[in-house]
Amino acid sequence: MPSSPPPPGQAHELWDLVRGAAILLGTGLVVFGAEALIGNHVLATVVGFLAVDFVARRIGAGFGEGNVYRQAALGFGLGAGIALLVALLAVATGLATLKLGSPSFVLLLGLGRSIVAAFRDEVLYRGIPLTLARRSDIPDGYTVVFTALLGAAPLVGAPPGGRRGADRPVPVQPDPRVPLGKTAGPPAA
């Protein structure tokens, strides 16, 4: 028995849902494809961020429009202030010691990469799906559950040692010229 075609409004909602899923899947493929293909971790993160920013602007997700960057800077400042307060309390109570030093470029680069990746992931896993779901008139309860599962999916699918090579130690090959149990150092006198 042939089924009747869906009502006109329902067909439009289904098309919006399929289109939204394709946008989300395509954006995710670009982000994780960049991570897999580009050898430089920082460059791969920036390429993924730019792809997500482009898609978010095209669908009107609100990312990068208005004062979003200002709000992100205020949020980062608030988080850093709270972290500083906790550190100072730990020093004051004797639970920690604080020594001044100079941050290295690599530390600053790693911090910047982490901030960009967090911003990218937040928009990819929550901003874009929430915007697309609103357009398709999907109830918020379903959308919240979906975005929570979507945000956890990369963690569940990641290998135990981390997804990236930088997260795991590099195995060191022993020097075949040095007998086992000996160290390769200056000759003993």
The answer as to whether 161 is a domain residue is no
CA distance 162 to 86: 28
Q: pTM for this one?
A: 0.59
The answer as to whether 6 is a domain residue is no
The answer as to whether 179 is a domain residue is no
Domain that holds residue 122: 16-98+105-153
**Residue 15 in this model has a pLDDT that exceeds 50:** yes
The answer as to whether 172 is a domain residue is no
Which two three-digit tokens encode residue 88? 């100072």
What's the pLDDT tens digit per position in 89-133?
Answer: 988 898 887 777 766 777 777 788 888 888 888 888 888 888 888
Structural contact between residues 121 and 151, judged by C-beta atoms closer than 8 angstroms? yes
The answer as to whether 46 is a domain residue is yes
CA quadruple 64, 167, 37, 113: dihedral, nearest 10: 20
Residues whose CB falls within 8 Å of the CB of residue 59, separated by 6 or more in sequence, listed in order: 23, 128, 131, 132
Which two three-digit tokens encode residue 2? 């042939």
Q: How many domains does the chain have?
A: 1
